[in-house]
Structure 1
């Protein structure tokens, strides 16, 4: 049952209860929605054809709660091959917790406003699928938390998904907590969303069983990075505090001797706050990865200087050496800089000013175990 008349976008009306025209099954004999009604204006309006009678809503159908009604309509939407979303609602003036009317509509209902939000909010560019579809279900409150279907419109102005394609509808895709944990754990060891999606496919037994698509994995991974970017300093502080309570250094009553990181300013602040001398212990020494800094030479100074001359060989002889004293390193650095006329290079001046944080001559007495010469892959094991 449903409304007998439906106003079309072309100004005409169609009879929803009339016999629909069927053009048969879809490709590969999949169950799909191929039944449609042709309006007087010549436009096709579709109806689900592979939904059992027990799953089709009807007017005056009663549900014990609003959530039960929504779940029923969502299951109907999944079987029918269209997406659903929650629409408008009307609350009781005397009791705002009571919802008198609730609309659940097709995901293609309405049209997107072309208001330029970019002036105020940075938004991701997406393609709208809304086409003004009028399919909906309206639940009305009848007392004692029960609701009944007041209005049911079951005609759609767009083609519906096949049995295979309905899994890709937005309302049928959900990044549940287990999938989010997989993406989060994989990101900590630099595994991208494409590889982790393949792993999830193997774990679930097929792409159709994962429940989401590869773009969903990429979207969540992008959101995860944007979330962590502004909070990485506090996350490091919290992690260090936990490790401080559990690690053997706390048991022996002392901090770790050295911590090696990249040049992230937030890391510098986090380490200073978490392992300071305020607790009565010896303050930790913060050092920088030499590998990170050495990778920047060609970026800051250019490939021609670094790859077509012996500049890097001469610099590495002083940078990598573990036997040079501090004064000999400083003399050698200045000689190389003078030879290649780089006295005015700001980046080299900055690196020289912070030489005590990354040149080996300044921490010959600390047991580094090769940590200063790590690669990008091995660094993921330390944090």
Structure 2
């Protein structure tokens, strides 16, 4: 008979290799309770048909591989810190001193993690809603809302805790919103409402999960956000998502929509590298216009057209599109708008996504995602508490004898003080008053700024209204 070894080989690759521990061993001992004092040995067969387990092998016997409550808690707590069962098992070994002292193998750790996912199963969405209901009963300040489709499947959910809502009251004038991050096995998009605190650190006000990045979902989550926070922000910073562009003015009637400069600027090399030979020179000149906070819109527009003409880019479609929407991303058009530190910061949402990425995995259930989200929030708020402590227990070095600097050190957080200190130093050494004049009770100061290549600024002080305005010359 001819045998086709190729067929045999290909089929054997698909077959799972299994082993058996059965060897027909007759060794046994039988006891019988005598009903009064104890047990009697009825039968004893000593001979084994296999080798006995060695001392080092006892740890692998099924009877010695038991996952106790301590092990399960360790796996559960490790999961909240984004530690999988393998890493948790290795960590348990370090705690116990050796693998033999753990009391279980990595297989038991992985099996229990799997069993938790199976237990959650189809009840995942219901469990997270029940969790939020319990939190709402315990704290009236906790807010959540959700929506389901016709089949009863969860399609969007929003929540904000007490601390997040309080942070919004203080730091919520400018928020960053982004939805480019998938966080769970259902591919729902993570949409955090983020800002910067008084240490210029990320602070999350509220978050949501949406099934789709479309206008309907964005309108819903923006409406729920306003319902939760009561007031609108003054400015909302997003990427160039078309659905967001249409949804924001539908809900926000007062907030100004601004595009994230980081998302736009990172595309310059990708879009223009092929048509510009001297890319470094181009970027230097265009950055001087784009990032400047000293020029007015008219100056920017003239400078932009000059650069486009110099590099023969007047007909570049992408740059023409950016110029047409210049009022939504160029700082020259936001001179009078407080940007709360978001103007010269790289994408705060992108940074937030990177932060959350350390705590989450794309295979997470909703329940697992929320547990890890809470761990991430604990870390974020712990950092804030540490900075608050350090600010009250230490005093920064003073660089001038001015009382203004000392008052600033007591008033501002350490991060903000160093920026104020820099401005105080600059006013002492980099700026000089060229002239002072007065007309109808209005004082006019002519100021020369060495940091800006000797640029002259005119400061107008109206003592009647206590109002200062800045005008470029």
Under TM normalisation by the shorter chain, which class is it? 0.3 to 0.5
Q: Output the TM-score relative to the length of structure 1.
A: 0.41
Q: Which structure has greater strand proportion?
A: 2
Q: Output the TM-score relative to the length of structure 2.
A: 0.34
Q: Which structure has greater helix proportion?
A: 2
